[in-house]
Amino acid sequence: MYMDVITREILFNRVRSWMLEAGAFIRHKINDPLVINTKSNPKDLVTEMDRKVEFFFASKIKRYYPDHLLLSEEGYGDKLADTSGTVWVIDPIDGTMNFVHQKQNFAISIGIYDQGVGEIGFIYDVMRNNLFSAMRKNGAYKNDQRLPRLDENKSLNESIICLNHYWLTENRLVDEKVMQQLIKDVRGTRTYGSAALEFSYVAEGSADAYITMGLEPWDFAAGKIIVQEVGGVTTNITGEEVGMLDRTSIVTCNPSIQGFLIEYLMKAKK
């Protein structure tokens, strides 16, 4: 059973206003001194702001939707055994390194799944005040503008691909020689340092694919829904469907180049 349309619309509008409120708070505090900590390794940063924003949404969910569940990065979430129920998948700041070093190029990302089906997605580019949103089978928007469906005639040599350059160095996951060939065969590559923003660029067609070797559910939950609403596709690097609970590799792209990308990646996989 899908979520009913009225419930979904009310939920969508509430999340939208909370996103805007959280974004305004971040902009207001953007020049305040930061408390920065590291998590799994010295490059894995977290700030007080990551925790505050997640707490803001966790408190709203508890108050307005006590029967909903939360899957999130910074510790206010629930432990989920499966995909049942209505689940908010939240990354309070995606692109924390950019937040710390650049004070821009980060996003709040929220995907809402009902019984495992992606119903609502929001990616908020806070500093540019661009809000990407989508509801299942209702199209995707950048602010109030509906995003057009992706160009079905895109070729690889006209495509811009977002990549994380880290795994183009010698690594244990992919044969870097094959990846180097892919880079030669596309028009250009970009690295933005925020998975959520990279999904939103694929959705608006300013990039044609985003490929990465490992993302957590909160990095891609919203993006997958938004990309799907413009006719884009999201799988792992071997072309399989990705679940909303697990860490996975990701290829999100214009469908006209998907076959080529998966072919390169299958060849490159170690």
Residues that bind ligand IPD (CB under 6 A): 91, 94-96, 164, 193-195, 212, 215, 219
- Binding residues for Ca ion (CB under 5 A): 73, 91, 93-94, 219
What residue 74 binds from Ca ion, ligand IPD, none (CB within 5 to 8 A, per partner kind)?
none
What is the Cα–Cα distance from 90 to 244, expressed in whole angstroms? 12
Structure tokens at 218: 């909160």
In the annotation, is 234 catalytic?
no
Q: How far is CA 64 from the centre of its chain?
A: 24
DSSP-derived 3-state class of residue 42: coil
For the chain, give the longest Cα–Cα distance. Answer: 52
91 or 204, CB closer to ligand IPD? 91
How are beta strands 209-215 and 160-163 bridged, if at all?
parallel
Smallest distance, Å, CB 94 to ligand IPD? 4
C-alpha to C-alpha distance for 94 and 194, rounded to whole angstroms = 6
| CA–CA dist 78, 90 (Å, integer) | 12
| Closest CB to ligand IPD among residues 94, 204 | 94
CA dist., res. 17 & res. 122, Å (int): 11
CB 90 to ligand IPD: min, Å: 11
Considering the complex, state which of residue 111 and residue 114 has its C-beta at the smaller distance from ligand IPD. Answer: 111
Q: What does 107 bind: Ca ion, ligand IPD, none (CB cut-off 5 to 8 Å by kind)?
A: none
Angle (nearest 5°) at CA 24 between 21 and 26: 110
Contacts of 41 (CB under 8 A, 6+ apart): none
The residue among 23 and 95 lying less far from ligand IPD, judged by its C-beta, is 95
Q: Is 73 a catalytic residue?
A: yes
How near is the Cβ of 65 to Ca ion at its closest, in Å? Answer: 22
Q: Let me know if 191 is a catalytic residue.
A: no
The option from ligand IPD, Ca ion, none interacting with 193 (CB < 5 to 8 A, set by class) reads ligand IPD
Catalytic residue, candidates 50, 54, 74, 91: 91
246 labelled catalytic:
no
Q: Work out how close the CB of 73 gets to Ca ion at its nearest, in angstroms, rounded to a whole number.
A: 5
Cβ(168)–Cβ(192) below 8 Å: no
Task: Tell me if residue 54 is catalytic.
Answer: no
Catalytic annotation present for 96: yes
Spot the catalytic one: 93, 160, 225, 262.
93
Separation of alpha carbons 220 and 233, rounded Å: 12
- The residues annotated as belonging to the active site are 73, 91, 93-94, 96, 219
